[in-house]
Chain A
Amino acid sequence: MPSSTPGFAMLDARAMVKRRLGLRLWLSGGWLVVLVVAATFAPWLAPHNPLEQDLFTSRLPPFWMAGAEPGYWLGTDSLGRDVLSRIMYGARIALVVALIAGTATALIGATLGLIAGYFRGWADLVISRLVDIWMAFPPVLFAILLIAVMGPGLVSVIVAIIVIDWTRFARVVRAEAMAQGAMDYVASAQVAGQKRLGTMLTEILPNVLPTIVVLLTLEMGIAVIVEAILSFVNLSISTDFPTWGGMIAEGRTSVHQAWWVLVFPLATLFLTVLSFSQLGEGLKDRFDPVLR
């Protein structure tokens, strides 16, 4: 047809544009992979039993310092327990909390936010009021109250994180869904005869997903911190199973004699939280078609 001739002259210039290298994604993803491997295979990889005390090897310095013992790479604490092994086992708790609490928070918050923002009306009224009331409680008090009621432990920590942080997802996702809902492609889906639930899942959700992913990885970082804080004040897992927060609390008391007991878990915690927050942005840069 005559009208179509100019179209075939159109260039496909996309192949000429190189995607930018996601250094951020590689660094943060790399650290988290190392951590996941270390945590998963800790029984085989850890050089020592993390609970084994040995007063003859107490406060050994890390491997490069004078007086270090071979096999105790990052030194030992005042009870002679291997710091590296304890960090690896501590990663198990940290990652389990990050994964479960982060995912559950995202699922609950994002679902409610999506429904409120897209369907509006009474659903929005109910959900938005709930969020407002929820956010009126001071979060730390809320968490401590909750753990006081449920008793300390891993489950309480996870529940506390979900209960406090779902509103963060709900608010952001609601605003985003609302903005997307006003776009013409949503009207276009209606013209095509798409059901509303279908439009929410196939048109709105893909556009809100990058935001959800960024929030989710941030939330995982937050979950790691919250778990560390709660185990620091002894409200998390109650046995003497190693946690990063617990190690930091113990290391603090002997920081002048054995700084490594404090510094290594602290650095691990810092790197992990940083990696989670960078991972989301990195994934977005790499996989969001709109930014490519």
Chain B
Amino acid sequence: MTDLYTVTDMHLSLADMVNKPLFGSAPRIDILHGLSFSIKRGEVLGIVGGSGSGKSTLGRVLVRLLEPSRGQVLFDGQDITHLNEDALRPLRRRFQMIFQDPMSSLNPRRTVGSIIAAPLKLHGFDRISVRVDQALDHVGLPRSFRTRYPHELSGGQRQRVGIARAIAMEPEFILADEIVSGLDVSSQAQVLKLLADLVADLGLTLAFISHDLSVIRRLCGTVMVLYQGRIVEHRASDALFAAPEAAYTRELLGAIPLPDPDQPWGAQAG
């Protein structure tokens, strides 16, 4: 397997607008401190870590909503670290994102059909109407939903529209940032199952950000643990859950209830 993403010593800082002096530029706060890792084609990578550890920030760098301040990000061998929007545009089809809050990520004044079709039009796809129908089929929504507005859908249905929009572009990589955290337990399970099936069927590479270790464990082949903007552990999922190395990982694992309280995590792996 080849690497789809290669990230080397990537730093990211953002302008701290709260402490901006009246004149002059805002001080910068460092959020990611030199991350190095790679994501293989077809890999399902779970990214975990406490709130504020930089998971979303890292994800937004991968789809280049944010620009790293230092280091290098290669996508399929191409340096995308500092590419401007014009240069990124042809590449954008290839890495897509599913957002956490589907109410905010779907334009409330567009129909589902137009939401899914808009990115396709931008990238000059043919047979757009057919593709929209196919995408709806893929995520298990009736085709009649094309004419609906987002507020006419349930939370789980909205999140399916978000997934449909991403996969319709036939991307190679999808970033999913906490996509089930706003859903109830049964829709969570359905959306996760859908995502797992799609990844397998379409041969996608997936980065899955979540607080929920049991979800990560079920879905992901590898896991990256972030703590205060640094990678503390990055290994195959089985190995990590069987024998967490970093103290912080053990802390995270200890914080979730075990299915069987008599057995440690390690005894359940496999």
Contact = CB atoms under 8 A, between A and B. Distances in A.
A66 interface: no
A191 B104 contact: no
Contacts of B111: 289
A188 B97 contact: yes
B104 A8 contact: no
B231 to A, nearest CB: 24
A192 B63 CA distance: 10
A189 B107 CA distance: 10
B104 A185 contact: yes
Nearest to A11: B142
B144 interface: yes
Given A184-B99, A185-B106, A206-B107, A1 B138 contact: yes
Interface residues of A, number: 33
Given A188-B97, A207-B107, A7 B142 contact: yes
A7 B65 CA distance: 32
B190 A185 contact: no
Nearest to B190: A6
A193 interface: yes
A240 interface: no
A7 B109 contact: no
B139 interface: yes
Contacts of A138: none
Residue among B108, B139, B148 facing the most chain A CB atoms (10 A cut-off):
B108
Contacts of B99: 184, 187-188
Contacts of B93: 193
Contact of A191 (B90, B96, B110, B201): B96
Contacts of B105: 183-185, 187-188
Contacts of B250: none
B109 A207 contact: yes
Nearest to B169: A192
B141 interface: yes
B119 interface: yes
Contacts of A207: 107-109
Nearest to B63: A191
A263 to B, nearest CB: 44
A194 interface: yes
Contacts of B122: 192-194
Interface stretch (B149-157, B203-211, B215-223, B262-270): B149-157
A12 B152 CA distance: 9
B4 to A, nearest CB: 17
Contacts of B149: 289-290, 292
B65 A187 contact: yes
B92 interface: yes
Interface in A1-48: 1-8, 10, 12, 14
Contacts of B138: 1, 4
Nearest to B162: A188
B142 A10 contact: yes
Contacts of A188: 97, 99, 105, 165
B106 A192 contact: no
B172 interface: no
A69 interface: no
Given A10-B157, A192-B122, A289-B149, A183 B141 contact: no
B177 to A, nearest CB: 10
B107 A12 contact: no
B107 A3 contact: no
Nearest to A205: B109
Contacts of B90: 193
A290 B197 contact: no
B62 to A, nearest CB: 11
Interface string B127-144: 000000000011111101
6 contacts: A10-B145, A14-B152, A184-B104, A187-B99, A188-B105, A191-B65
- The 4 A-B pairs of least Cβ separation, nearest first, read A7-B140, A4-B140, A192-B119, A184-B105
Interface of B: 63, 65, 85, 88-90, 92-93, 95-97, 99-101, 104-111, 118-119, 122-123, 137-142, 144-145, 148-149, 151-152, 157, 160, 165, 169, 190, 193-194, 197-198, 201
